[in-house]
A = this chain, B = another copy of it.
Amino acid sequence: MRAAADTKTRILDTAERLFAEHGYAPTSLRKVIAEAGVNLAAVHYHFHSKQDLLEAVVVRRAAPVNRERLEMLARCEREAGGKPPPVEKILEAFLAPAFRLARECTEGGAAFARLMGRLHAENDALPRILKNNFGPVLTAFHSALHRALPEVPKEELFWRMYFAVGAMAHTLRGDQGLEFISNGACPTPDWQTTLRRLIDFLSAGFCAPVKVRRKRK
């Protein structure tokens, strides 16, 4: 169990870390194999191409995270008993799994979360993978949020989710962003505090009064 990981896993782990750290395009397979201590041909044997390696890296983590999101959503809807759960709880169900993975896991998880934050911007590569993995999740959360906020038009709600995803991805990327904005004055706290801050911020945004006039049919 704790023995040295096999070749395939070592490649996945290393690629995950390097893609997260430097981005997909600038990370060559040779850098990956050098750090993973495997042979170049092994990458092509196990993953066929660099692009497919990226997809393998993504699906390995995305599936559990999205499953947990839906589970947390279902749980908080159950606890609310009939009524729609509070917006904070819905947002927590969406955000917490990703943040925990990002900041709590000992090894690979942290890198992956940064990678996802990156890919939201560098995603030319994997449209259908994202669509398959995240599409149903986004639909489920849009529906939950719509029930919690019936006064917000569906279209506006999509936009608010879009803004929220941007804030989340930016935060998950977790590079020197905040130190930069705050000019170094702002220490990075534990992930629970960051998550708490983000949920408070976004909840208020979702509950904001709607001022944009609805387009007539």
Interface residues of A in 104-136 (CB under 8 A from B): 117-118, 120-124, 127, 130-131, 135
Return the CB mask of A186-217 against B: 1 if under 8 Å, else 0.
Answer: 10010001101110111111111111100100
Residues of chain B contacted by A200 (CB below 8 angstroms): 208-212
Return the CB mask of A165-181 against B: 1 if under 8 Å, else 0.
Answer: 11111110101111011
Cα(A198)–Cα(B183), bound, Å: 25
- Name A177's closest neighbour in chain B (CB-CB): B162
Cross-chain contact of A196 among B139, B155, B180, B212 (Cβ < 8 A): B212
Residues of chain B contacted by A135 (CB below 8 angstroms): 180, 183
Interface residues of A in 84-101 (CB under 8 A from B): none
- Name A203's closest neighbour in chain B (CB-CB): B208
Stretch from A8-16, A22-30, A53-61 forming part of the interface with B: A22-30
Cross-chain contact of A122 among B121, B204, B208, B215 (Cβ < 8 A): B121
Q: Secondary structure at chain A's binding surface: helix, strand, loop or mixed? A: helix
Cα(A165)–Cα(B206), bound, Å: 17
Cross-chain contact of A202 among B155, B180, B205 (Cβ < 8 A): B205
- Name A172's closest neighbour in chain B (CB-CB): B166
- Closest-CB distance, A117 to chain B (whole angstroms): 7
Closest 5 CB pairs of A and B: A166-B170, A121-B121, A204-B208, A25-B25, A201-B205
B-binding residues in A (CB < 8 A): 22-23, 25-26, 117-118, 120-124, 127, 130-131, 135, 138-139, 142, 155-156, 158-171, 173, 175-178, 180-183, 185-186, 189, 193-194, 196-198, 200-212, 215
25 sampled A-B residue pairs with Cβ under 8 A: A117-B121, A118-B122, A120-B121, A120-B170, A127-B180, A131-B180, A142-B181, A155-B186, A158-B181, A158-B186, A159-B201, A162-B171, A162-B177, A163-B167, A163-B171, A163-B202, A166-B169, A167-B170, A200-B208, A200-B209, A200-B210, A200-B211, A200-B212, A201-B206, A204-B207
